[in-house]
Amino acid sequence: MSHSKKQHNMFDSAMDDEIYVTISLETPQTIALILTHMIPDRAPNILIQFPKEKRNTIAQRIATMEGVNQNTVNILLSKIQISLQGCLNKVISSRRPQKSIDGSSALAKMLAHTGDDATEDILKSLENTDQVSKIRDAMFTFEDIMLIDDTNIQKYILKLPSVQDNLATAIKGLDEEVKDKFLRNMPDRIKNRVEKERQSLGKVRASVVREARKLILDEIRVLIESGQVQVEKS
């Protein structure tokens, strides 16, 4: 990782911590409202910092969110913006404000960038709600790569820069069936290189593996959303 990228990541992390401290005393409903207006891959960094019980409550508020009073949202964000000395602008979505929010879809996008344990914990807390099946359907996880046919794996997925740079790390501790989905579609030369690299890595922190998988999933989602790759949901 380059020096400038390390600095950028350190800045992002510090900003996330500052936002968390600033909003942590707000009600779960207020926090949910703020998070739904943030960039999807930044909101999870803040959501996962909350203690388990409050985090699950916030997730429930997001999942059931529908209509919003935009004037209330603007006042709320302005108040927090002052506390954060303007840095909230860097993580608030630039999309045109919406009078309604699809809470299930918003939460699914956040969970797509959240660690496996936190994601499963949040989904379990929603198990008896009407939203959980919709959220699960809207999510695309690393295991869902099994739902992409081999032709698309070879034609698109294996050519992604994130896959070429991070696959050896991403498949550490991965279910054998999912790992084989990648490896069996590779030429032997590349497969052997990836396996050798994976073994040489030794023990890797879970956070590093999650980040490698996130980078790959981000690029796969772009292909899915553009229609280049289809997912056969069961």
The CATH number given to whatever domain includes residue 195 is 1.10.220.30
234 in any annotated domain: no
Please give the tally of structural domains in the chain: 2
Q: Are residues 156 and 189 in the same domain?
A: yes
34 in any annotated domain: yes
Quick one: pLDDT at residue 87? 56
pLDDT > 90? residue 51: yes
Cα–Cα distance measured from residue 1 to residue 192, given in angstroms and rounded to the nearest whole number: 24
Quick one: pLDDT at residue 185? 95
232 in any annotated domain: no
User: In 139-228, where does DSSP find H-type helix?
Assistant: 150-155, 161-170, 176-183, 188-200, 206-226
pLDDT in tens, 181-193: 999 999 999 999 9
Cα–Cα distance measured from residue 77 to residue 157, given in angstroms and rounded to the nearest whole number: 39
| Domain end point (choices 87, 105, 138) | 138
Q: Are residues 211 and 116 in the same domain?
A: no
Quick one: pLDDT at residue 90? 57
Quick one: pLDDT at residue 188? 94
Q: Are residues 87 and 174 in the same domain?
A: no
Model confidence band, residue 2 (pLDDT cutoffs 50, 70, 90): very low
Q: 128 is in which domain, residue-wise?
A: 3-138
Q: Are residues 77 and 120 in the same domain?
A: yes
Q: Are residues 99 and 149 in the same domain?
A: no
Q: Are residues 164 and 127 in the same domain?
A: no
Q: Are residues 164 and 206 in the same domain?
A: yes
Q: If you count them, how many residues does the chain have?
A: 234
Cα–Cα distance measured from residue 67 to residue 98, given in angstroms and rounded to the nearest whole number: 9
* Token pair belonging to 51: 């203690």
| Domain end point (choices 138, 166, 182) | 138
